[in-house]
Chain A
Amino acid sequence: MALPDAKIPDGPIERKWSYYQAHCKLVNAANRSRFQIAVIGTGLAGGGAAAALGELGYSVKAFSFHDSPRRAHSVAAQGGVNAAKNYQNDGDNVWRMFYDAVKGGDFRSREANVYRMAELSVDLIDTCVAQGVPFAREYGGVLANRSFGGVQVERTFYAQGQTGQQLLLGTIAALNRQIDAGRVEMFSRHELLDIVVVDGRAAGVVVRDMVTGEIEAHAAHAVVLATGGYAKIYYLSTLAMGSNATAIWKAHKRGALLANPSFVQVHPTSLPPLGVHQSKLTLMSESLRNDGRIWVPAQAGDPRHPNEIPESERDYYLERRYPAFGNLTPRDIASRAAKERIDAGHGVGPLANAVYLDFRDAIRNHGEDVIRSRYGNLFGMYQKITGLDAYREPMKIAPAAHFSMGGLWVDYELMSSITGLYALGECNFADHGANRLGANSLLQACIDGYFILPSTIGNYLATRLHEPLPDTDHPAFRDATQEAEESVNKLLAVGGSRCVDHFHRELGAILTDRCGISRSGAGLRSAIEDVRRLRREFQQDVKVPGGPREPNSELDKALRVQDYLELGELMCRDALERDESCGMHFREEHQTGDGEAVRNDQSFAHVAAWEHVEGGEAVRHQEQLAFEFVEIATRDYR
């Protein structure tokens, strides 16, 4: 198969989206209810899309594996959402925000998509406020802002440390309104097991009711995936336990290209693992880096309590290496710098796997009350998990897998390489290049669902006006349903000796070690072998108790881990083939003498889009990235 056209509109970058909107086909309001659209995932992207499509009058079925759409992992985003409002009069505008994101992504994203994200950020804040999102405000009643990593302006809107939950409640309220109005039918506790493709077009989905275990087929004129990120593949990550790659992996196996799967962001300010029982890592918002200073003891293995280490014996390594951005360097750089110090023996904490994030100076300068009002809930969370008081001693933090920039390849319309199948939010690859800037993920999820898809899906559906809804008796539906049944039964029949989590932990350890913050050719080759071995062991030795027609969390997990075991190999292959360092993808073979990443724009200024080959090796396609509007440059935060 050839790589499809990315369908980027002609013209100056600031007019591409309005040109597209002026020329795309429309579906008459009276005809919209004839179209059935299946939306998978109801977080900010999917919930927003379902709400917007319902408002337009389409017939929508929305599916979530959670018991309620309000649980989607968008809820956990803490720090904020970016928008080029320039309320702070600090020189911000759409172009600057666009440039920051392209540069932050280390020149591995599509200019036109990124510009549109910055452009639509302005409208997003208006929409959220109208929904009743309680953003932080100044005394005069206007909206407040703060700063995030990788930028020099204050463009981040926030609601304490719960911005994700507050934006999501706005989305879910809009979704609830459409459910209330009967335009969206909500299926909670349903997990996608397959995408049905008929004559090269997405025709529906196969889902499993996680209470009864029934496998159901639903036909649709278009299918929208908004299923979030896959960083839970590392097992220890900041993601929720249920976050999974099943939907995008099944789409991939049905023909959708998967782009840059190895681009996974490691967040610098998570809590470190406390022991072998650890099931997830808790993020401490990047916003803490506005006031916290990161350091390690200058002397490796210094056994003293942090408060007893004098100023002269502290190494504020980010401020030392990157004086221009200091503690607010982008995430890839901050994570790498932390790993470098930890590997050099300067790590702190019982497992020597952390660095300090210290608020002493901020408390001295602004007072404890101000710090409490800014980050009170984060300090409280820290206290609950560790039992320590961060007002009295520095936090101990460490890098953790956090966000997947990679995902389904999509064109400018957010359509995957399967006609009629769309991918929104974190599950697509489009906007963040090789590294996402903080507070751009909520933004991307929201605008994909609220603003972009509602326009682009009409351009497709308008050509399908006389097409009836696909028939679920079609052999493609029957085959997909049967395959799903078989895969469930096969897992239950193995009857091995190891729990699902055992395999997930081991997969996570392989990827964290060799396909995480730092990668090498030799390490990736051995990781591929190890993932293959682990996959074989899983097929022969996993133990999944219970039956297929009952609530069975272990079966839910096994189905997800089975897909992770396949995706893991492709991530390693993608990392291996990208023989350069860029953004968070740091190949040890490509660095400067002082440890900075070295890109290879000659050979790798492209998106790697992988095609699944049944029973064979995936094929790598390249979408060349044209930088027409920004000058490609070496990132320098020094």
Chain B
Amino acid sequence: MKITFRIWMQDGPNSAGEFVEHAPEGLAPDMSFLEALDHVNESRILSGQRAIEFDHDCREGICGTCGVVINGRAHGPLAATTTCQLHMRSFSDGDLVTVEPFRARAFPVIRDLKVDRSSLDRVARSGGYVSTNIRAAPEANSILVPRHAARAAFDAASCIGCGACVASCKNAAASLYTGAKLAHLSELPQGKIENTLRVVRMVEAMDREGFGSCTNTEACEAACPQEISAHLIARMNRQYNWARLKSLGRKLT
């Protein structure tokens, strides 16, 4: 099949970028999108150009490393699908396909399609855990968790940290990502204990990292490869307000 790629290239965070066009021979509908990019790179390298940089690893939709904006949509046209799980059969012969990095103030470009998402890690490090030491654990079945709560915690915890929610948000907010982590832990009895402090710390970390504010367009939910619900944002906001109220006049720590 014949596809023309328009791919964003940018040497570094402070350089100007531009689109380059490639219309490689030998694309097949069974190729994954990243295999098509490999294919573009192979022809670039053999003709003496440097490779286009992009992040990827497991190529089965679970590590969250890959992610580009394809024709204006984070991870491309299919719902609930990471870039690596997208296949060329989702495009038509003759299509022009524009490929850009996940753009956000909190995701500076490293090079080309590769961005620095360490801001998400710093949010997670601001209390996104249960404060228990390894081995300081009671017998597993002594903590009963209702099946629906375990399921809800799992659904929230299925976030792969790819950043598509941020890239698809006009405000570059990380509310879905943070809301998901908070929901995962607050659904479970073991995580509830520190929830007040956690929600305050994580929300403030989002602001510090330069993520925007949520204005409830729910574009994040539409782009999320794990179909995480935007309701978790409302829940985070309620928990945050409640925590702020509770903490009036006293310290959380």
Partner-B contacts on A (CB < 8 A): 48, 51-52, 55, 66-71, 73, 75-76, 85, 87, 123, 125-132, 134-143, 159-160, 162, 164-166, 169, 172-174, 176-177, 179-180, 188, 211, 240-242, 274-275, 277-280, 282-283, 380-381, 384-385, 387, 450-451, 454, 497, 499, 501, 543, 545-546, 550-554
Which A residue's beta carbon lies closest to that of B112?
A551
Asked if A70 and B87 sit within 8 Å, CB to CB, the answer is no
Given contacts A180-B126, A554-B51, whether A67 and B117 have CB atoms under 8 Å apart is yes
- Counting residue pairs across A and B whose Cβ atoms lie within 8 Å, the total is 222
- Residues of B with Cβ closer than 8 Å to A? 11, 28, 30-32, 34-35, 38-39, 41-42, 44-46, 48-51, 53-65, 78, 80-81, 85-87, 89, 110-111, 114, 116-118, 120-121, 124-141, 143-147, 150-151, 153-154, 157-158, 160-161, 184-185, 187-188, 190-191
**From B50, B87, B111, B127, residue with most partner A Cβ within 10 Å:** B50
Q: From known contacts A165-B62, A177-B129, A385-B87, infer whether A550 and B144 are also in contact, taking CB-CB under 8 Å.
A: no
Q: Are B134 and A127 in contact (CB under 8 A)?
A: yes
Contact B134 A51 (CB under 8 A): yes
Q: Is the CB of B51 within 8 A of A546?
A: yes
* Chain A, Cβ-Cβ closest to B152: A134
Cβ-defined contact, B157 with A134, below 8 A = yes
Task: Point out the residue from B55, B136, B144 that lies within 8 Å of A141, measured CB to CB.
Answer: B144
**Which of chain A's residues have a CB closer than 8 A to the CB of B132?**
130-131
CA distance A142 to B146 in the complex (A): 8
A-B contact pairs, 6 of them (CB 8 A): A75-B63, A130-B137, A132-B190, A159-B154, A240-B59, A282-B59
A279:B137 contact, CB within 8 angstroms: no
User: Which B residues touch A450, using CB under 8 A?
Assistant: 134-135
Asked if A126 and B137 make an inter-chain contact with CB atoms under 8 angstroms apart, the answer reads: yes
| B147 x A138 contact (CB < 8 A) | yes
Question: How distant is B33 from chain A, measured CB to nearest CB, in Å?
Answer: 11
Whole-angstrom distance between the alpha carbons of A610 and B38 in the complex? 36
- Residues of A contacting B87 in the complex (Cβ-Cβ under 8 angstroms): 384-385, 387
Contact of B153 among A132, A188, A552 (CB under 8 A): A132
Choice from A51, A87, A137, A501 contacting B42 with Cβ under 8 Å? A501
Known interface pairs A160-B154, A165-B62, A176-B129; A545-B48 also in contact (CB < 8 Å): yes
Query: Do the beta carbons of A137 and B125 come within 8 Å of each other?
Result: no
| Contacting residues, chain B, for A123 (C-beta < 8 A) | 135, 137
Decide: A277 near B129, CB < 8 A? Known: A134-B154, A240-B58. no
Contacts of A125 in B (CB 8 A): 140
In the assembled complex, the Cα of A179 lies from the Cα of B128 at a distance in Å of 12
Chain A residues with Cβ under 8 A from B85's Cβ? Answer: 381, 384-385
Contact A283:B125 (CB < 8 A) given known A277-B28, A546-B50:
no
Give complex CA distance A574, B147 in Å.
49
Distance in angstroms between the alpha carbons of A188 and B119 in the assembled complex: 12
Smallest CB gap from A49: residue in B: B134
Asked if A545 meets B51 with Cβ closer than 8 Å, knowing A71-B65, A134-B154, A141-B145, the reply is yes
CB atoms of B45 and A554 under 8 A apart: yes
Q: Which of A68, A136, A279, A384 contacts B150 (CB 8 A)?
A: A136
Q: What B residues does A454 contact at CB under 8 A?
A: 134
B28 with A70: CB separation less than 8 A: no
A129 touches B143 (CB 8 A): yes
**Inter-chain contact A68/B121, CB cutoff 8 Å:** yes
> In chain A, what residue has the closest Cβ to B155?
A134
Cα A422 to Cα B228 with chains together (Å): 39
Q: Which residues of A contact B146 (CB under 8 A)?
A: 137, 141
B111 to chain A, nearest CB (A): 4
> When the two chains form their complex, are residues A166 and B114 in contact, meaning their CB atoms are under 8 A apart?
no
In the complex, are the beta carbons of B124 and A127 less than 8 A apart?
Answer: no
The chain A residue with its CB closest to the CB of B88 is A277
In the complex, A389 Cα to B29 Cα: how many Å? 18
Q: What chain A residues lie within 8 Å of B135 (beta carbons)?
A: 123, 127, 450-451
Residues of chain A contacted by B46 (CB below 8 angstroms): 497, 499, 543
> Could you tell me if A85 and B63 are in contact, using CB atoms closer than 8 angstroms?
no
Q: How many angstroms between the C-alpha atoms of A553 and B34 in the bound complex?
A: 14
Task: Among B48, B135, B139, find the residue whose CB has the most chain A CB atoms closer than 10 A.
Answer: B135
List, in ascending order, chain B residues with CB within 8 A of A278's CB: 35
Which of chain B's residues has its CB closest to A557's CB? B51
A75 pairs with B62, CB closer than 8 A? yes
A sample of 5 more A-B contacts (CB under 8 A), given A85-B140, A241-B57, is A134-B151, A160-B154, A180-B129, A283-B60, A384-B86
Highest count of chain B CB atoms <10 Å: which of A134, A140, A180, A274: A134
> What residues of A have a CB within 8 angstroms of the CB of B45 in the complex?
499, 543, 545, 554
* A-B pairs, 4 with minimum CB distance: A141-B144, A173-B129, A130-B137, A126-B137
Pair B89/A387 contact, Cβ less than 8 Å: yes
The smallest C-beta distance from A373 to any residue of chain B, in angstroms, reads 9
| Residues of chain A with a CB closer than 8 A to B188's CB | 132, 134
State whether A553 touches B128 (Cβ < 8 A).
no
Q: Is the CB of B110 within 8 A of A551?
A: yes
Shortest beta-carbon distance from B209 to chain A in Å: 14
Q: Given the complex of chains A and B, what is the CA–CA distance between A52 and B137 in angstroms?
A: 14
- Nearest residue, chain A, Cβ from B143: A129
Instruction: Tell whether, in the assembled complex, residue A550 and residue B111 are in contact, meaning their CB atoms are under 8 Å apart.
Output: yes
In the bound complex, what is the Cα–Cα distance between A242 and B140 (angstroms)? 35
List chain B residues, Cβ under 8 A from A543: 45-46
Question: From A555, which residue of chain B is reached at the shortest CB distance?
Answer: B51
Task: State whether B57 touches A166 (Cβ < 8 A).
Answer: no
Chain A residues with CB under 8 Å of B120's CB are 68
What residues of chain B lie closer than 8 Å to A240, measured between beta carbons?
A: 57-59, 63
A188-B118, A380-B80 known; A169-B137 Cβ under 8 A: no
What's the Cα separation between A385 and B82 when bound, in Å? 11
A543 to B42, CA, bound (A): 10
Q: Knowing A176-B129, A385-B85 touch, does A275 contact B134 (C-beta < 8 A)?
A: no
- Expressed in whole angstroms, the Cα–Cα distance for A278 and B36 within the complex equals 10
For residue B78, which residues in chain A have a CB less than 8 angstroms away from its CB? 384
Chain B residues, CB < 8 A from A274:
30
B141 near A75 (CB under 8 angstroms)? no
B32 touching A129, Cβ below 8 Å:
no
Check if A76 sits within 8 Å of B58, measured CB to CB.
yes
A137 B145 Cβ-Cβ under 8 A: yes
Contacts of B58 in A (CB 8 A): 71, 73, 75-76, 240-241
Q: Closest Cβ of chain A: how far from B88's Cβ, in Å?
A: 10
Pairwise interchain contact A241-B56, C-beta atoms closer than 8 A: yes
Partner of B128, one of A73, A176, A211, A550: A176
On whether the beta carbons of B118 and A87 are closer than 8 Å, the reply is: no
Q: In the complex, how many angstroms separate the beta carbon of B1 from the nearest chain A beta carbon?
A: 12
A558 CA to B78 CA, complexed, in Å: 33
